[in-house]
Amino acid sequence: MKTVSSTGFALFGASLIAISYGLARFAFGLFVPPIRAELGLTPEVIGVIGALPLISFLLASLVAPLAAIRLGARNTAVLSGGFGAVGLALISQSSGAVSLGVGVFACGICTGLMMPALTAAMQVLVDRSLHGRVSSVMNAGTSIGIAVAVPTVLFMAGIWRLTYMGFAVLAVIGILAAWYVIPSVSRVTPSNAAPPSPITSLQWWRLFRLSLFAFVMGFISAAYWIFAPDLVVTLGELPSSETGWLWLAVGVAGLGGAVVADLADRNNPPITQALMLMMLAASLALLAASPDEVVLAAFSGLVFGLAYMSLTGLYLMTGIRLLPGRLSMGPVLPFMAISLGQATGSPIVGILVDSFGYSDAFAIFSAIGILVALLSPFYPRIVEQVGEEATEEDRGLQAAYDYQLQNEEGEPFTYDTEETTPTEETQAN
């Protein structure tokens, strides 16, 4: 294992997230037009295939916390990269719907395992006062990966198989780097920190409401992630290479998501949820209305990228806030709800495209987003440690992480080097 600085680990983690999230999961929609044309797949079939990595992500997320504990951070990250490399290689060699489906399913497992492994490693390599910043940088890796995929479709749209094989090679490099950098640890918990409080019925009710909003957001976003490039090619008659500008816009705008989520926690999460969900719906309507205009299509990508990444960051923040001391559960539940919504929405939008066309399908999903945005006053807004008298230090992403370890008085835990010893759950080599 190599010792790295907090900044170095943040950049390293962002690179692995770029591969596992950006390339292995979200880049698929960018290559749907050439893949669908070469393999002769209908929108309905593409919708079903697009749901597979989301289902496998859900399954992997269920076991990822246990895997990070039992296998350790290093082995879990390597396992994640292995699934990514195999999945990307299978996609590059796919000859039909079945082989393509197996490949994207494996990529979904890669995505579900990576973040828990990096979180476990962060607890050992990074000072707790920097967890918020490091997490923000790592989460930005998704947008970076999406943006990195853009040149491949701009210049290699006709040779998507070679492109995916190149992605597989990057995944292999990520595996080797993970083995070298990430320590073989499970998790680190000070022995004199207070255990998390039992989950109350009020907390469950808030989590349920949060998960419902996350599900709907995932449901709506599935239309854009899977079918936006195919829409501008089929309906707007743009060349496949032009679709890269959509994903470049999504990736660049998505970098601002962490900032918006942090500001939302400091101000008014329900209003942010309403605004961002409205923007998400507007991006679908704008793309469907102007599929033949590259500039407007790219602008819709900017709106979508900012709204999607802001909402995922907001749901992450809220999940952490709702369940202090339970990082393996609080932020995981809304992310699983997002994936479940995407897995549900992907085949449904495929059926709607087959039945009514792209414009009507996107308009229907946009209308659903607007209606749910009007229900944002029901978004969970009050949590125990952020009340009316909360100071600036009690708000924001880092403050949310500070409350993941608490003392007996319910205040953020601070280390005492003379008294603090790691628990038996710490395993390091």
Residues 59-111: tens digit of each pLDDT: 998 888 888 888 888 999 999 999 999 999 999 999 999 999 999 999 999 99
Residue 426: per-residue pLDDT: 42
Q: Is 190-383+392-409 a domain of CATH 3.30.420.40?
A: no
Residue 424: per-residue pLDDT: 36
Residue 110: per-residue pLDDT: 95
Residue 345: Cβ within 10 Å count: 28
Is pTM beyond 0.85? Reply is no
Contact between 5 and 122 under an 8 Å Cβ cutoff? The reply is no
Which part of the chain is CATH 1.20.1250.20? Answer: 1-188, 190-383+392-409
Structure-block tokens of residue 256: 């601002």
- The pLDDT-based confidence of 387 (bands split at 50, 70, 90) is very low
Contact between 204 and 373 under an 8 Å Cβ cutoff? The reply is no
More confident residue, 426 or 260: 260
Residue 416: Cβ within 10 Å count: 9
Mean pLDDT of 254-268: 71
d(CA 4, CA 195): 30
Range among 172-186, 321-335, 338-352, 369-383 rated most confident: 338-352
More confident residue, 422 or 146: 146
Among 53, 107, 353, 60, CA closest to 230: 353
pLDDT at residue 416 greater than cutoff 80: no
Mean pLDDT of 337-345: 92
* Region label for 2, one of left (φ > 0), alpha (ψ between -120 and 50) or beta (otherwise): beta
User: Which stretches within 71-188 are classed as H helix?
Assistant: 73-92, 97-125, 131-139, 141-156, 160-181
CA angle in degrees (0–180, nearest 5) for 317-401-341: 30
- The pLDDT-based confidence of 399 (bands split at 50, 70, 90) is low
Among 170, 298, 276, CA closest to 229: 298
CATH architecture for the domain at 1-188: Up-down Bundle (1.20)
Residue 93: Cβ within 10 Å count: 13
Residue 71: per-residue pLDDT: 87
pLDDT at residue 419 greater than cutoff 90: no
Rounded to 5 degrees, φ, ψ at 35 are: -65, -45
d(CA 84, CA 94): 15
Q: Which residues touch 102 (CB under 8 Å, ≥6 apart)? A: 87, 90
Q: Which residues touch 394 (CB under 8 Å, ≥6 apart)? A: 385, 386
Give tens-digit pLDDT for 304-339.
999 998 898 888 888 877 877 666 666 788 888 998
pLDDT at residue 353 greater than cutoff 70: yes
Question: What is the overall mean pLDDT for the chain?
Answer: 82
Contact between 342 and 354 under an 8 Å Cβ cutoff? The reply is no
